[in-house]
């Protein structure tokens, strides 16, 4: 493969295999639309631990170990773990990885982390630097709310376009050989910021980044959106999803038939999640559960997962900055 100037995409020469995945959710995720597509479900958001952050670490540790087992091995087979979460200094990831004791690369892509971890994992495997790696990501509703917005105990009313941070985690084992869908291509995103400043409105902030990466993917690979059975964005929610469809229409491409947002797939209407799900776990639990199962059952053969991340911080918000966003796309085919 020869890198061409200006391109942001990779076509893998020996597409790495996703040999196993695992996911976990909390009670709200279990009662949602994809409740049947979880490896583990917790009865509450603490799981008898002393903090939400520790519960998030527990979730990440569980899915990484389970994914390694479902790939027919255990943690000792895993050369490297690529992982991240939303918390300051990746707190949950670091404490999970402390227990797992495997070589580790910390990624921060906010809610795009699952796709980013799969891309970096695939680069490392296809480049010949590893036989088996894990890509993983997590988020926890209560830990994220108190860090980014308000402690949940305050009961602050959420605006209609707010989304609900998913409590959950997902992990995918990416290997040089084995059975399963393969990572065939990836597009690494640039930061896009059209000036949205409201941290309760992340879907609209992230939609232009998703469109930028999807458009770049089409230019670089020559694959039209119709090439894929389904295109999934990570956590744009209903408002952001509508914007993506409209922005692509403006470019002359109608993706309304084979495009869905993971953030719109997790909760039922009556669960009152407002504009949908968000958080690193949004795309992580959907890809590592529902999508992966649909692919192994050959109900989906070619998908493009576009992880979407809002890269603001509470400090940048207080300093009146707008919200920089990014999207990374990974193509998986069987």
Per CB under 8 A, residues contacting a copy of itself are 1-3, 5-8, 10, 13, 50-51, 53-54, 76-77, 79-80, 84, 86-91, 94-95, 97-98, 101-110, 116, 120, 123-124, 126-131, 188-191, 193, 311-316, 319, 321, 324, 326
Find the angle CA(290)-CA(291)-CA(292) to the nearest 5 degrees.
95
Shortest approach of a copy of itself to residue 20 CB, angstroms?
18
Question: Residue 157 or 318: which CB sits closer to a copy of itself?
Answer: 318
Q: How far apart are CA 302 and CA 231, in angstroms?
A: 9
Intra-chain end-to-end CA distance of the chain, in Å: 21
Shortest approach of a copy of itself to residue 299 CB, angstroms?
31
Question: Residue 217 or 241: which CB sits closer to a copy of itself?
Answer: 217
Question: Residue 30 or 121: which CB sits closer to a copy of itself?
Answer: 121
What letters, b where the CB count within 10 A reaches 16 and e where it falls short, cover 48-83?
Answer: eeeebbbbbbbbbbbbbbbbbebbebebebbbbbbb
Q: Give DSSP secondary structure letters for 115-167.
A: HHHHHHHHHHHHTTS-SEEEEEEEE-HHHHHHHHS--GGG-PPPPTT--EE--
Shortest approach of a copy of itself to residue 320 CB, angstroms?
9
Phi, psi of 232 (to 5 degrees): -120, 130
Q: How far apart are CA 89 and CA 94, in angstroms?
A: 8
Shortest approach of a copy of itself to residue 316 CB, angstroms?
5
Question: Residue 88 or 256: which CB sits closer to a copy of itself?
Answer: 88
Question: Residue 34 or 67: which CB sits closer to a copy of itself?
Answer: 67
Question: Residue 91 or 304: which CB sits closer to a copy of itself?
Answer: 91
Shortest approach of a copy of itself to residue 50 CB, angstroms?
7
Shortest approach of a copy of itself to residue 70 CB, angstroms?
19
């Amino acid at each position: 493969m020869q890198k061409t100037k200006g391109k942001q995409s990779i076509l893998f020469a020996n597409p790495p295999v996703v040999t196993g995945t695992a996911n976990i959710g909390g009670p709200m995720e279990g009662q949602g639309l994809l409740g049947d597509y979880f490896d583990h479900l917790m009865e509450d958001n603490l799981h008898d631990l002393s903090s939400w952050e520790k519960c998030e670490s527990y979730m990440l540790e569980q899915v990484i170990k389970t994914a390694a087992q479902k790939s027919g091995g255990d943690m000792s087979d895993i050369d490297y773990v690529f992982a991240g979460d939303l918390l300051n200094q990746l707190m949950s990831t670091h404490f999970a990885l402390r227990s797992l004791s495997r070589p580790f690369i910390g990624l921060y892509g906010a809610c795009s982390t699952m796709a980013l971890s799969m891309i970096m994992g695939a680069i490392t495997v296809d480049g010949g630097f590893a036989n088996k790696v894990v890509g993983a990501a997590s988020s926890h509703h209560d830990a994220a709310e108190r860090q980014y917005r308000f402690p949940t105990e305050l009961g602050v009313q959420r605006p209609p376009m707010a989304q609900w941070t998913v409590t959950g985690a997902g992990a995918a084992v990416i290997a040089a050989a084995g059975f399963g869908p393969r990572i065939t291509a990836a597009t690494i995103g640039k930061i896009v910021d059209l000036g949205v400043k409201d941290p309760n409105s992340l879907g609209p902030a992230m939609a232009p980044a998703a469109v930028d990466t999807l458009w770049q993917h089409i230019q670089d690979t020559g694959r039209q959106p119709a090439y894929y059975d389904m295109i999934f964005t990570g956590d744009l929610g209903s408002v952001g999803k509508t914007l993506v469809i409209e922005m692509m229409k403006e470019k002359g491409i109608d993706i309304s038939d084979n495009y869905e947002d993971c953030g719109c797939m997790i909760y039922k209407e009556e669960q009152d999640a407002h504009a949908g799900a968000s958080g690193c776990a949004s795309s992580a639990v959907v890809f590592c559960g529902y999508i992966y199962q649909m692919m192994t059952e050959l109900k989906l053969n070619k998908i493009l997962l576009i992880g979407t991340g809002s890269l603001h911080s509470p400090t940048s918000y207080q300093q009146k900055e707008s919200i920089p966003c990014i999207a990374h796309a990974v193509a998986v085919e069987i």
